[in-house]
Structure 1
Amino acid sequence: MNIVLGALFAIAMQSAMAQQYVGTSPWGEQDEIGRLNMMTPESQAAVMANIDARNVYDLSVEYFVGMPSWQAAGDPHYQFWMTHTPRGAVVDNVLGMGKRVNQHVSYSGSAISMYTHTGTHIDAFSHFGLDGKIYNHFSAEEHLGDKGWKRSGAETIPPLVARGVLIDLPKAKDLDMLPDNYRVTVTDIEQALEQQKVTLQAGDVVLIRTGRMQDYEQATQFMANSPGLGMAAATYLAEKGKAMIIGADNLSFEAFPSEVEGNYVPVHTYLLTQVGVPIMELVNLEELAAAEVYEFALVGGSLKLRGADAAPLRPLAFPFKTPSTNTNED
């Protein structure tokens, strides 16, 4: 990045850090989805018309007891239990069918319990706010009830069909994964994009690979001292890159400690609260990176959890047949 651009984005970063505020949606005072409005029928059709459906990459993680999950604030671990088993059905006879029928019909049932920010998921704008308000000035006092948010809950997130871009930072640095506590910079992003010969386009889903997903099966190691996005990099992707969604393969998404006094998650509040960019976390980018697929159609749907501040997501990546073209206006 040249000196002029570097200076401009340093100023932009300082402005974002100094002027924390609740953003107003350009899509109107009733808008609840922010930059997800950048998806249009035309952009979605253009993306899907260019896919190679012979290959598909699943970007989600598996859920299992003992999996990595956010525990710093005391939220519940992922739990799984059997509610019915073939032998239990015979013993308990809960449906009153009798021993012979229960031995013939083998019945299994199960249940789960978890924090909504567990596994591959997307953050809704209600996840973080500033001074009691979330993106587009919906307030907790007016719009949050005992059964969740009345505005900008996870149920408002539409199906995702957009151009996806993988930014493989470890490969660009000739590393297996980024070091502990590494703070991703604008230079890191630009160097990786240059090496990959990829240009960001308005409306992209930008996915940052730190390499941390290689430790996913070891929860303690995965969670400790994670690398993550810095404020300057977030500002760059949102303002210059005009990203629609930004995601990463780690759980904290941003790097700690915070760069902003009085705000322990400034990247989250900048993206979610100020500029209306949803965040995806725990995206499994390993197979995509190994195949060197840097541009693709991202297709996914999150669970419509009414009033929730996040929802599990299963994103799929379909490689393009030919290099993509910009299907969104700047």
Structure 2
Amino acid sequence: MNRKLNIFRTSIFGLMLLPGLTFGADVASSPWGSDDEIGRLNLITPESRRAALQNLNPAVTYDLSVEYFIGMPSWQAAGDPHFQIWMTHTPKGTKVDDPLSVGDRQNDRVSYSGSAFSMYAHTGTHIDALNHFGLNGKIWNHFSAAQYLGDRGWQKTGAENIPPIIARGVLLDVPAAKQVDELSPGYRITREDLEKTLVAQDTVIFPGDVVLIRTGRMRHYNDAQRFMENAPGLGMAAARFLAEDKQVLSLGADNLSFEAFPSEDANNYVPVHTYLLAQQGVTIMELVDLEQLARDRVYHFAFIGTPLKLRGADAAPLRPIAIPYADAE
């Protein structure tokens, strides 16, 4: 282990120990109290942020978000709205309509463009709030839909509560460790895959890290049909390894669904989501573009992600960035 990782070992990351969680067939009670709405994100402290932002090389900064465009990959199979964008003002239309009553002379001089867009909350690079999936009518920390879900969204664990995420980030390039360009359709990532990837990359995960998992599916992002069809994703054993053994802060991947289908659980069609969100308090990021990080073999970095503060929402668009450390790890 080199000098930089030794610094992290003795930093706040090496000292983080997650309070015990009890879970089974039901949602978990938060170890941070009955009012907690952000789960593992409570591990973000001034000390952890300071440690994550030490010794950076901002000359090379990676944008991990995708572009939004008509026809982009989205949850079409579930009937959710696609991304749409349309013009509300154009220079020519403004001259015809004169919506501000300023007259032809000013409308000829001032070229006015305006637009609007609509989309499902889980479109593009985004983060799932802890209310996205639950069990038996309840979400994380036993908040019930009957009591806290109104016509204007959730009154608990809404996306507005998610703080800016500043933490040490780790990339797990699973295809590279398996010596392939991308994982095969429907491939379910195992614990053994993750352990082998850590060895191949000479990478260490500390408690409180943001861990991003590359499947290689992002290579097909501009081909929505190919991107969405039978994507590889995380399996339950791998999720338990990261959440329990490694005590991660948050997880992300480059695919649309995060986990692989069909489900491993005959009684739960999204067991990885319910386990992470409702039983472990781990937020999930999807459609994270990891191709440039993988190309440059940047496996450790400062992760900065700031979701939109959408009140009551079960997800929010995210513009994450990765800043490598000045010392190559």
Specify the TM-score bucket, using the shorter chain as the normaliser: over 0.9
Could you tell me which residue of structure 2 aligns to residue 13 of structure 1? none
Partner of 1:142: 147
Quick one: which of 118, 122, 125 aligns to 1:117?
122
Counterpart mapping for 1:1-330 below 5 A? 19-322=24-327
> Following TM superposition, by how much is the alpha carbon of 1:302 offset from its aligned partner in structure 2, in angstroms?
0.2
Tell me how far 1:322 sits from its aligned partner. Answer: 2.9
SS at match of 2:298: coil
User: What 5-or-longer segments of structure 2 have no aligned partner?
Assistant: 1-20
TM-score normalised to structure 1 length: 0.92
SS of the residue aligned with 1:200? coil
| SS state at 1:126 partner | coil
CA distance, structure 2, for counterparts of residue 83 and residue 20 of structure 1 = 49
Matches of 1:19 and 1:260, distance apart in 2: 14
- Paired with 1:21 and 1:236, the residues of 2 have a C-alpha distance of 20
Q: Which amino acid aligns with 2:33?
A: G
Structure 2: distance between partners of 1:278 and 1:50: 27
Q: C-alpha displacement at 1:50, in angstroms?
A: 2.2
State the 1:19 CA deviation.
3.1
Count of residue pairs brought into register by the alignment: 308
Note the C-alpha offset of 1:20: 2.3
State the SS of the aligned residue for 2:131. helix
Unmatched segments (≥5 aa) in structure 1: 1-15, 325-330
Which secondary structure does the structure 2 equivalent of 1:136 belong to? Answer: helix
**1:20–1:270 Cα contact (<8 Å) kept:** no
44-53 vs 55-64, greater mean Cα deviation: 44-53
| Distance in 2 separating the partners of 1:44 and 1:115 | 31
- Structure 1 residue 323 displacement after superposition: 6.4
Amino acid in the other structure paired with 1:147: R
Q: d(CA) in 2 for partners of 1:50 and 1:29?
A: 37
Cα deviation code 1:114-135 (max 9, x no counterpart): 0000000000011000011000
In the alignment, the residues of structure 1 paired with residue 76 and residue 278 of structure 2 have an alpha-carbon distance, to the nearest angstrom, of 23
Once the two structures are superposed, what CA deviation does each residue of 1:246-271 show, in whole Å capped at 9, x if it has no partner?
11000011001101111100000000
Aligned partners of 1:185 and 1:19: how far apart in 2?
A: 21
**Partners in 2 of 1:64 and 1:124 — Cα distance?**
24
Name the amino acid aligned to 1:241: K
C-alpha distance in 2 between matches for 1:19 and 1:39? 26
Aligned-pair identity (%): 63
**Equivalent-residue separation in structure 2 for 1:233 and 1:178 (angstroms):** 15
**Aligned-partner residue type, residue 205 of structure 2:** L
Q: CA deviation at 1:188?
A: 0.6
The match for 2:15 is: none
Paired residue type of 1:111: A
* CA distances 1:251-305 after superposition (whole Å, capped 9, x unpaired): 0110011011111000000000001000000000000110100000001100000
Structure 1 position 71, deviation (Å): 1.6
Task: Tell me whether 48-57 or 242-251 shows the greater mean CA deviation.
Answer: 48-57
Tell me the SS of whatever aligns to 2:251.
strand
Deviations 1:67-120 (A, max 9, x none): 000122210000000000011111111111111100100000000000000000
